[in-house]
Amino acid sequence: MNSYIICGTPRSGSTLLCGMLTAMQTMGAPDSFFMRDVDPIWAQAWGLPARGDLDDGAYGRAFLAAVIAAGRGPSDVFGLRLMWESLVDLQAMLAAVHPGLDSDRARLRAAFGEVVFVHLTRDDKLAQAVSLVRAEQTGLWHMAPDGTELERLSPPAAPQYDRARIAAILAALEQDDASWHSWFAAQDIQPLRLRYHDLAADPQAAVTRICAAVGVAAPALGSLQPEVAKLADAVNADWIARYRAEQA
């Protein structure tokens, strides 16, 4: 089984990327299957078993089987989106399922076959932090190009500049990205590196790079269209400018 894992942080373009890969029908259906607080509706749709003991090998095997089925979709390729904060739970589960293996990379290979690691990162961490804080405040996380809301996690609320929260999220994002770099080095992994700026500018080119790494034919030019719209606007720009001025 060919597999790929998109290793990222929130608000780095992973939803856009996962949507386009899923739309291909030949690149699996990547999503955040190992998120600690999986929405019950998503868990039911994915066929995941009820949350159990991560150190229980039997539970781990059942959970992995369900994840692989969901992440493959109608294809022969398995796709996974993994945020840094979710890696700990995945490590614990794989250690219980494959106790005889001594590295994360070996256990991931045992679980998912040959894995291509994609490191999706956003250079402008302040813009990323502002995007995340605004999503938390307004409840709106993703919107379609036609303006339809795709994902709302709380009732609508007006955004309010919060310097302390932005600073905390910025520090966390920087630490998570640094942790990915350290983990890749420790596991002797050379990931395919993908930048948010490049993904936003030409999403189909980003998809094509991943397809080539996995060994799947690239989509025809123009055959894929982004399913999510960029939410950043003048409010985001104002918060970024204000934060930078205050820091100076």
Question: In the chain, what are the helix, strand and coil shares in percent, each to the nearest 5?
Answer: 50, 15, 35
Total structural domains within the chain: 1
In a 10 Å sphere around its CB, with 0-12 CB exposed, 13-18 middle and 19+ buried, how is residue 187 labelled?
middle
Q: How many CB atoms lie within 10 A of CB 72?
A: 18
Which CATH number is 21's domain given? Answer: 3.40.50.300
Specify the DSSP element, H or E, that contains 186. helix 163-186
Residue 8 φ then ψ, to 5°: -150, -165
Max distance between CA atoms of the chain, in angstroms, equals: 54
pLDDT in tens, the chain (248 residues): 799 999 999 999 999 999 999 999 999 999 999 988 887 888 888 888 888 888 899 999 999 999 999 999 999 999 999 999 999 999 999 999 999 999 999 999 999 999 999 999 999 999 999 999 999 999 999 988 988 998 898 999 999 999 999 999 999 999 999 999 999 999 999 999 999 999 999 999 999 999 999 999 998 877 888 889 889 999 999 999 999 999 98
Q: How many CB atoms lie within 10 A of CB 84?
A: 19
The letter for the amino acid at 135 is A
Tell me 154's DSSP state. Answer: S
Q: Tell whether 117 is covered by a domain.
A: yes
Q: Tell whether 54 is covered by a domain.
A: yes
Residue 82 φ then ψ, to 5°: -135, 115
Residues of the domain holding 52:
2-123+177-228
Q: Tell whether 92 is covered by a domain.
A: yes
Q: Tell whether 150 is covered by a domain.
A: no
Q: Tell whether 248 is covered by a domain.
A: no
Residues counted in the chain: 248
Q: Tell whether 152 is covered by a domain.
A: no
Q: Tell whether 131 is covered by a domain.
A: no
